[in-house]
């Protein structure tokens, strides 16, 4: 193993010494040495990525896939679950109301878990905290198999969400710290875009278990096996170890995060950016299914066919467009910068969403339009994994990233409630177009955020 090097490129862009070159060739220095090497524009971005770094990306992505799966599976089983527990028809008002209540517990649990585990990831380290978050969401998902009352469902979904909220921040910080800066945006974008696999996995699981909702949650125990791989393969980033030694009690401190004017401004602005992305997800992106149903009913299609075709349009066609948008966001960040990438996608969303709402007149036209909407509205979600870890120093990276993403998740909850009221009061295309105006807030908040393209991760 070559000796790991730390530090930044200095004024004259000095050449890396032979020890560093040897370490790069051997693939042994996985956590910082490549930050000292100037990227060669003639080489592909992945040329300097080591086997260990690919391993980190794979492990982090699997954790995020199963993380997102735990969130999606409730949406697919809530009617069958709550109908059985309440002894009410699946389309009853009581079942719908309790579905929203359970979702509220999940949002709060995700926020509190994100705050807690983000802080612990900076204090304890990435490896043990990732293991704990995966165990949280997988074990408590499995215990849902035995739920027989509403309070049990609410409590278990709250605990599952704590693990879900924490795992993302740990994994996003780890990927950012391990990859060289010339590959960081692309790797982080790939990491977040794997959530599309979770949507497909949840859909397949939902179709397989049918009305037997308990089996879907029992399957959720499987990710616990991933913790064995995490424990054996993931090493703590050297830069985090150094920060833990030098910063003491300031590591993972919310007081440190909010007392420092730079970190406070970035945390609050990042939180707002995440709230826009997550709020428009619930208000705009998921409305793709409703827009298709609205069009098909207007065209006179039978009710059962409308439900089947609209689910396919959203869950497969639009989701594929969203996945491509997230995959594209990392390279876009590298080419034009983080702020311009967010600006471009949100600006396009302001144009695309009204067009999708009003222009398609046939099912085929809507099937062509929905993936474009998914591309521009979901693409920015990968940007959270790219951008948030770059805004905070080593001793606050997971804490700050988790605060942005998970507090934004909590702030999106009122938008979810408001969007339901707005869609009930207005024609669906008009309501969805109005909700897309939230992207204007996302554009404005970029004014107070820095550009981080080509920069080393902040140290203090």
Q: Does a structural domain hold residue 266?
A: yes
CB neighbour list of residue 334: distance below 8 Å, 6 or more residues apart: 45, 182, 185, 186, 453
Euclidean distance between CA atoms 200 and 327, whole angstroms: 16
Spatial separation of the C-alpha atoms in residues 72 and 203, rounded to whole Å: 8
* Region of poorest pLDDT, from 21-30, 45-54, 398-407: 21-30
Element (H, E) at 77: helix 51-86
Calpha distance 346→439 (Å, rounded) = 6
Closest to 132 (Cα-Cα) out of 238, 224, 244:
224
Chosen domain end from 207, 236, 265: 236
The more confidently predicted of residues 210 and 55 is 55
Which has more confidence, 131 or 6?
A: 131
Q: Has residue 350 got a pLDDT over 90?
A: yes
Residue 344 CA, chain-centre distance (Å), reads 19
| 282 and 316 housed in the same domain | yes
For residue range 287-306, what is the model confidence (pLDDT) as tens digits?
998 999 999 999 999 988 88
Q: What is the DSSP letter of 12?
A: T
343-360: average pLDDT:
97
- Give the count of beta carbons closer than 10 Å to the beta carbon of residue 37: 19
Residues in the chain: 460
| Straight-line distance from the first to the last Cα atom of the chain, in angstroms, rounded to the nearest whole number | 29
Residues 78 and 142 in one domain: yes
Task: Identify the domain containing residue 287 by its residue range.
Answer: 257-448
Q: What is the pLDDT of residue 42?
A: 67
Minimum mean pLDDT among 22-31, 137-146, 331-340, 374-383: which range?
22-31
Q: What is the pLDDT of residue 41?
A: 60
Between 13 and 338, residue with greater pLDDT: 338
Angle 225-231-235 (CA atoms, 0-180°, nearest 5)?
A: 145
Cβ–Cβ < 8 Å for 186, 52:
no
Same domain, 207 and 151: yes
Q: What is the mean pLDDT of residues 27-56?
A: 65
Is residue 150, in this structure, part of any structural domain at all? Answer: yes
Domain membership flag for residue 222: yes
The enclosing domain of 81 has a CATH number of 1.20.1250.20
Q: Is residue 459 part of a domain?
A: no
Q: What confidence tier does 200 reach under pLDDT thresholds 50, 70, 90?
A: confident
Region of 426 (left: φ > 0; alpha: ψ -120 to 50; beta: rest) is beta
Percent of the chain's residues with pLDDT above 70: 91
Write down the pLDDT at residue 360.
Answer: 96
Better-scored residue on pLDDT, 278 or 203: 278
Distance from CA of residue 60 to its chain's centroid? 12
Single residue among 172, 205, 236 that ends a domain in this structure: 236
Mean pLDDT of the chain: 87
Is the Cβ–Cβ distance between 118 and 133 less than 8 Å?
Answer: no
37 in a structural domain: no
What average pLDDT does the segment 59-74 reach? 90
**What is the pLDDT averaged over residues 35-58?**
77
Return the pLDDT at 40: 58
Position 1 in a domain: no
- Spell out a b/e string for 178-196, using b for 16 or more CB atoms within 10 Å of the CB, else e: bbbbbbbbbbbbbbbbbbb
Closest by CA to 408, choosing from 269, 266, 271, 279, is 271
**CA–CA dist 341, 447 (Å, integer):** 13
Q: Is the pLDDT of residue 392 over 60?
A: yes
Shared domain check, 263 and 214: no
Tokens standing for residue 136: 């949280």
Q: What angle do CA 212, 213, 215 make, to 5 degrees?
A: 80
- Could you tell me how far CA 298 lies from the centroid of its own chain? 35
**What would the pLDDT profile of 83-106 be if each residue is shown by its tens digit?**
999 988 877 888 888 888 888 899
- Reduced to 3 states (helix: H, G, I; strand: E, B; else coil), residue 257 is helix
Asked whether the predicted pLDDT for residue 400 surpasses 90, the reply is yes
Same domain, 56 and 199: yes
Q: Let me know whether 423 and 275 are in one domain.
A: yes
The residue whose two tokens read 């591309």 is 375
Compute the average pLDDT of residues 16-27: 40
Name the maximum alpha-carbon separation found in the chain.
73
Same domain, 312 and 214: no
> Is 286 within a domain?
yes
Among 203, 236, 269, residue at a domain's last position: 236
Question: Do 208 and 272 share a domain, yes or no?
Answer: no
Q: Are 270 and 411 in the same domain?
A: yes
Nearest of 345, 348, 373 to residue 359 by alpha carbon? 373
| pLDDT band with cut points at 50, 70 and 90 for residue 10 | very low
pLDDT at 38 over 60: no
- How many domains does one find in the chain? 2
H helix intervals, 220-302: 226-233, 238-247, 254-259, 261-280, 287-298
Same-domain check for residues 401 and 261: yes
> Taking 70 as the threshold, does the pLDDT of residue 197 lie above it?
yes
Is the pLDDT assigned to residue 11 strictly greater than 70? no
Does the CA dihedral 315-273-118-54 come out positive or negative?
A: positive
* pLDDT for the residue 268: 97
| Residue 123 and residue 63 share a domain | yes
Model pLDDT for residues 140-169, shown as the tens digit of each residue: 999 999 999 999 999 999 999 999 999 999
Q: Is residue 247 part of a domain?
A: no
Distance CA 160, CA 106 (A): 8
- At residue 37, the pLDDT reads 38
pLDDT at 33 exceeding the cut of 80: no
133 and 73 part of one domain: yes
């Amino acid at each position: 193993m070559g000796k790991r090097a730390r530090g930044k490129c200095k004024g004259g862009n000095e050449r890396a010494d032979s020890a560093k070159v040897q370490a790069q060739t051997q693939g042994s220095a996985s956590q910082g040495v490549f930050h000292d090497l100037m990227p060669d524009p003639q080489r592909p971005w992945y040329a300097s990525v080591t086997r260990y770094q690919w391993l980190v990306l794979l492990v982090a992505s699997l954790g995020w896939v199963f993380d997102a799966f735990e969130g999606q599976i409730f949406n697919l089983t809530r009617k069958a679950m709550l109908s059985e527990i309440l002894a009410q028809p699946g389309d009853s008002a009581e079942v719908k109301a309790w579905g929203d209540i359970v979702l509220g517990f999940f949002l709060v649990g995700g926020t509190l878990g994100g705050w807690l585990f983000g802080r612990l990831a900076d204090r304890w380290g990435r490896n043990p905290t990732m293991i704990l978050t995966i165990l949280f969401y997988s074990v408590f998902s499995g215990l849902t198999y035995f739920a027989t009352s509403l309070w049990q469902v609410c409590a278990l979904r709250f605990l599952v969400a704590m693990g879900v909220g924490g795992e993302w921040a740990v994994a996003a910080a780890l990927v950012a710290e391990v990859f060289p800066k010339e590959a960081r945006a692309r790797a982080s974008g790939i990491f977040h875009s794997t959530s599309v696999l979770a949507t497909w996995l949840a859909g397949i699981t939902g179709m397989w278990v049918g009305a037997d909702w308990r089996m879907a949650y029992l399957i959720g125990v499987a990710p616990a096996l991933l913790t064995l791989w995490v424990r054996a393969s993931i090493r703590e980033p050297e830069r985090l170890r150094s920060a833990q030694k030098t910063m003491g009690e300031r590591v993972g401190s919310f007081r440190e995060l909010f007392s420092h004017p730079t970190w406070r401004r970035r945390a609050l602005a990042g939180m707002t950016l995440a709230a826009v992305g997550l709020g428009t997800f619930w208000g705009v992106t998921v409305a793709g299914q409703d827009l298709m149903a609205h069009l098909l009913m207007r065209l006179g299609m039978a009710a059962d066919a409308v439900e089947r075709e609209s689910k396919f349009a959203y869950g497969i066609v639009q989701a594929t467009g969203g996945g491509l948008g997230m995959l594209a966001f990392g390279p876009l960040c590298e080419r034009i910068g983080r702020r311009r990438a967010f600006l471009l996608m949100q600006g396009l969303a302001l144009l695309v969403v009204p067009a999708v709402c009003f222009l398609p007149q046939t099912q085929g036209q809507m099937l062509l339009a929905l993936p474009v909407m998914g591309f521009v509205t979901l693409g920015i979600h990968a940007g959270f994994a790219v951008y948030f870890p770059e805004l905070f120093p080593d001793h606050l990276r997971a804490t700050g990233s988790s605060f942005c993403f998970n507090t934004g998740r909590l702030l999106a909850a009122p938008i979810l409630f408001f969007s339901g009221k707005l869609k009930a009061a207005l024609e669906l295309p008009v309501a969805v177009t109005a909700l897309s105006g939230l992207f204007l807030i996302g554009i404005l908040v970029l004014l107070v955020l820095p550009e981080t393209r080509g920069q080393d991760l902040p140290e203090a």
